[in-house]
Structure 1
Amino acid sequence: MTMLSPQQTPAGTSYLVTGQGEPVVLIHGVGLNKEMWGGQIVGLAPHFQVIAYDMLGHGASPRPASGTALEAYADQLFELLEHLDLPRATIIGFSMGGLVARAFALKHAQRTAALVILNSVFNRTPEQRAGVIARTAQAAQHGPDANAEAALSRWFSREYQAANPAQIAAIRQTLASNDPQGYLTTYELFATQDMYRADQLGDIRVPTLVATGELDPGSTPEMARQLAAHIPGAETVVLDEQRHMMPVESPRLVNQMLLDFLHRAQASRHSVEGNVA
């Protein structure tokens, strides 16, 4: 695959774009960047125009001010679509990116063609909430890589870590190199916004897939099922034996799930548009 050259929007968002067809936007998780999507870019670009970008506070994108709200992250995506002159796109969000995708679909419904929420959070239990709040405090005190080893253990299987030490080391370095304030601002949202506008999720009226891994301890199958139950017609998929970073650890498996959904959503949309015409 040819190396893609990052580009920037007028507001400074760093992004990659490749492929032809209907646009699909990929949103990474906290502490990561657009590079996490390499497996999906390769798998989806033969079928769609694929856009991956760095969230506020990450990679080469601008740093948010302390206390920035989730809506600003949705507005960053809106500015990206405006820059690319895209009237709408399918939005795929992973982990924190799933919260951004939800916020975008609620605030910019007319720009959302379909929605995929991967390994994201919803309605944490008191114990789960206490755990993520504790990790936020550790990050505030010790920096973005304060929880790196524990995070990698949650994110990847032991077998994958042992077989791919160079990639694990690179992800550990990505975590450590994050801007401390940008990371903390984003992590605080990740820790507190799992019920963001939960009572309005029924307003999302586009094809939606909510998926996670069977062994994802922070974005559990029960969370996925509960979130999907709030969105009319949403599908739920739980991938057997997968942990949090399933897009990286098992890209072929995740890509097949995504392509199955994206092609069905595309066909449904074209059918509706044909009937209207």
Structure 2
Amino acid sequence: MPMESMKLVDGTSYFSCGDGDTVIFIHGVGLDKSMWGGQIAGLKQHFHLIGYDMLGHGDSPEPPDAACIEDYADQLERLISTLALNKPVTVVGFSMGGLVARAFALKYPHRIDRMVILNSVFDRTEQQRNNVLSRCDEVKAKGPGANVEAAIERWFSKEYRGASPAQVAAFKKRIITNSPTGYLQTYQLFGQHDNYGRERLKSLHIPVLVATGEQDVGSTPRMAKMLASYLPNADVVILDGQRHMMPVESPQMINDMLMSFLTRQREQVTLQEVVHGA
């Protein structure tokens, strides 16, 4: 991390840097707050950035027994409350973090000003859901490293894997060294609740950006478009040639997209679809 991590009284580990409107980043299953290094480098001159480790990940505590999606939303609420962030914030959720962002927006609508959902899931087909739950069973039997090689191949392009072996190795290590219990609990929630809050999403009138990669096989363009159709004030961006880990593999592209969305005047945000390379 480019700055020292801190901990809240509840044990949540987080970083904080920059000045301006607050943007909070939520990572995906098996990862931690360090995935946002590219966003820190590009955006800290413009915003107050916060990233934290979800329950069961990094240096944060384990989720409670029989945890639900709302427990992860409550962790974010404790973070905001403890840091005395009195103005509504922007929340950027990646993959599982996108589910947490949705749950947070539904449970604490007064806290959120805008939302960005990156490479997340919605309305999986039966086969897609079975594939994820099958991987959960492998993790239950063999631990966090059970399907790490396949995950890396899904997440990163072969070019990035070839050009950045040290970065890829660090992600493998992060996954393998996760808490087995916390990782499994979170992965199971991710596998089962892609449609969390589906019908209630129509109540969210904040500006939302839903984005994914053209080649993201787990968080597909169809999912992004379907999710946006349930949100009254959403943009969709499908990034040409990108796979799952686009915030890491293509940080400047993602930062440019975030800057465009976050600096747009509220009255200019309208429902539209922007598809690159389609």
List runs of 5+ in structure 2 lacking aligned partners.
270-278
AA aligned to 2:16 is: V
Instruction: Give how far 1:3 is off.
Output: 2.9
Contact 1:65–1:185 (CA<8 Å) still a contact in 2?
Answer: no
Q: CA RMSD in A?
A: 1.3
CA distance in 1, matches of 2:54, 2:152: 20
CA distance in 1, matches of 2:268, 2:216: 35
Q: 1:116-135, aligned counterparts within 5 Å?
A: 116-135=116-135
Contact 1:154–1:216 (CA<8 Å) still a contact in 2?
Answer: yes
Contact 1:65–1:182 (CA<8 Å) still a contact in 2?
Answer: no
Contact 2:214–2:241 (CA<8 Å) still a contact in 1?
Answer: yes
CA distance in 2, matches of 1:233, 1:270: 11
1:4 equivalent in alignment to 2:7: no
Contact 1:148–1:172 (CA<8 Å) still a contact in 2?
Answer: yes
CA distance in 1, matches of 2:257, 2:145: 31
Q: 1:44-123, aligned counterparts within 5 Å?
A: 44-87=43-86, 88-123=88-123
Deviations 1:91-122 (A, max 9, x none): 00000000000000000000001000000000
Contact 1:121–1:224 (CA<8 Å) still a contact in 2?
Answer: yes
Specify the SS of the correspondent of 1:41: helix
Deviations 1:143-192 (A, max 9, x none): 11111000000000001001111111111000010000000010000000
Specify the SS of the correspondent of 2:263: helix
Aligned to 1:206: 206
AA aligned to 1:129 is: R
List runs of 5+ in structure 1 lacking aligned partners.
272-277
1:140 equivalent in alignment to 2:134: no
CA distance in 1, matches of 2:166, 2:149: 15
Aligned to 1:268: 266
Aligned to 1:20: 19
Instruction: Give how far 1:66 is off.
Output: 3.4
Instruction: Give how far 1:197 is off.
Output: 1.2
Aligned to 2:259: 259
TM-score after normalising by structure 1: 0.95
TM-score after normalising by structure 2: 0.94
CA distance in 1, matches of 2:112, 2:11: 22
Aligned to 2:233: 233
CA distance in 2, matches of 1:3, 1:240: 29
Specify the SS of the correspondent of 1:4: coil
Instruction: Give how far 1:270 is off.
Output: 11
